[in-house]
Amino acid sequence: MRDFDLVRPASVAEAAAAFAASGDAAYLAGGHTLIPAMKARLRAPETLVDLSRLPGLTGVTRDGDRLWVGALTTHAAVAEDATVEAAIPGLSALALLIGDPQVRAKGTLGGVIANNDPAADYPAACLALDATIVTDRAEYGAGDFFQGMFATALSDGEIVTRVGFRVPTASAYAKFRHPASRYAVAAVYVARFTDGVRVAVTGAGPGAFRWTEAEAALTASFDAGAVAGLTLEDGDLSSDIHCSAEYRAHLCGVMLAQAVEGSING
């Protein structure tokens, strides 16, 4: 790994200023994507701006129909949080399925969504739970924020500060985990609201996306029978050394049925 200048700012504004002052900076949160990338020399920033000790960016609060989670909140903290469990148990379950305990102790919500790995879990929750993503300079709906593989609406140096998930009446996440990496081979988040159902898929394509046919069918009738036989077009899905697009298309149907069952019984 190449050496870098480490900056440890005391506020979000200081962090953004340090980023802007450097010609080639990266933010460091939990480091569980960035440090491996630096080791592999895929990234070699001259300046590392450490967000991990910034005040006010961790923790969970419920405000009406929104559950707000600070960007620096670790996966372990989300999984253990009683407010999350009470409001959106599907989100607690999702956090507990990320990586392993040591990854969950360090990795953060903001790091996952800023990175937008096509097999990451939180992007599916953000889309299905109609999340608002707040940064130091703007606010985005999840549908505008995620822009395909490793791409987001964030501009250079923009810092995610918190994410507001809309609290559903019921929801569940079903994930087929890659047995070695634990990332999603295919996973589906189903969220039921009084005004309709939202369904999001991750792992299967070049980025998380909403499954609108499943949403329409489940809004009409919320049971596994309503989506039995529904499949995605495999032309839009990923094919790699793990499995073919056709296999992923099938898996999405299986995960959808599991997530619907989970939201009914969960």
Partner 1 sequence: MTGLTINGIAHSADVPSATLLVEYLRDHLGLTGTHIGCETSQCGACNVLIDGVPVKACTALVATLDGAAVTTVEGLAAGETLHPMQAAFREHHALQCGFCTPGMVIAGIGIAQRHGADVTPGVIAHELEGNLCRCTGYINIVAAIAAGAKAMHDA
Ligand X SMILES: Cc1cc2nc3c(=O)[nH]c(=O)nc-3n(C[C@H](O)[C@H](O)[C@H](O)COP(=O)(O)OP(=O)(O)OC[C@H]3O[C@@H](n4cnc5c(N)ncnc54)[C@H](O)[C@@H]3O)c2cc1C
- Calpha distance 118→107 (Å, rounded): 16
In the complex, the smallest distance separating the C-beta of residue 247 from ligand X, rounded to whole angstroms, is: 19
Confirm or reject binding of residue 36 to partner 1 (CB under 8 A).
Answer: yes
In the complex, the smallest distance separating the C-beta of residue 95 from partner 1, rounded to whole angstroms, is: 14
- In the complex with partner 1, the residue whose CB is nearer, 119 or 191, is 119
Task: Give the other-Cβ count within 10 Å of 223's Cβ.
Answer: 13
Confirm or reject binding of residue 90 to ligand X (CB under 6 A).
Answer: no
Q: Is 221 exposed, middle or buried (0-12, 13-18, 19+ CB in 10 A)?
A: exposed
Given 55, 63, 155, 180, the residue binding partner 1 (CB under 8 A): 180
Site for partner 1 in 82-101 (CB under 8 A): 99-101
Given 15, 38, 112, 174, the residue binding partner 1 (CB under 8 A): 38
Given 2, 23, 42, 64, the residue binding partner 1 (CB under 8 A): 2
Place of tokens 């791409």: 151
Confirm or reject binding of residue 183 to ligand X (CB under 6 A).
Answer: yes
Strand 209-210 versus strand 66-70 pairing type:
unpaired
Given 77, 112, 167, 190, the residue binding ligand X (CB under 6 A): 112
Confirm or reject binding of residue 166 to ligand X (CB under 6 A).
Answer: no
- In the complex with partner 1, the residue whose CB is nearer, 8 or 66, is 8
Strand 25-28 versus strand 132-135 pairing type:
unpaired
SS3 127: helix
120 binds, among partner 1, ligand X, none (CB under 5 to 8 A by kind): ligand X
Q: How many residues does the chain have?
A: 266
151 binds, among ligand X, partner 1, none (CB under 5 to 8 A by kind): none
- Calpha distance 136→110 (Å, rounded): 12
115 binds, among partner 1, ligand X, none (CB under 5 to 8 A by kind): ligand X
- In the complex with partner 1, the residue whose CB is nearer, 114 or 227, is 114
In the complex, the smallest distance separating the C-beta of residue 24 from ligand X, rounded to whole angstroms, is: 12
- In the complex with ligand X, the residue whose CB is nearer, 116 or 263, is 116
Confirm or reject binding of residue 78 to partner 1 (CB under 8 A).
Answer: no
- Calpha distance 229→235 (Å, rounded): 17
Cβ 141 vs Cβ 128: under 8 Å: no
Given 9, 14, 17, 50, the residue binding partner 1 (CB under 8 A): 50
Q: Is 40 exposed, middle or buried (0-12, 13-18, 19+ CB in 10 A)?
A: exposed
φ, ψ for residue 23 (rounded to 5)?
Answer: -75, -25
Q: Residue ranges of the alpha helices (H) in 22-169?
A: 34-39, 75-80, 82-87, 89-96, 101-106, 109-115, 122-128, 142-145
Q: Which residues bind partner 1 (CB under 8 A)?
A: 1-6, 8, 28, 31-32, 35-36, 38-40, 48, 50, 52, 99-103, 105-106, 180-182
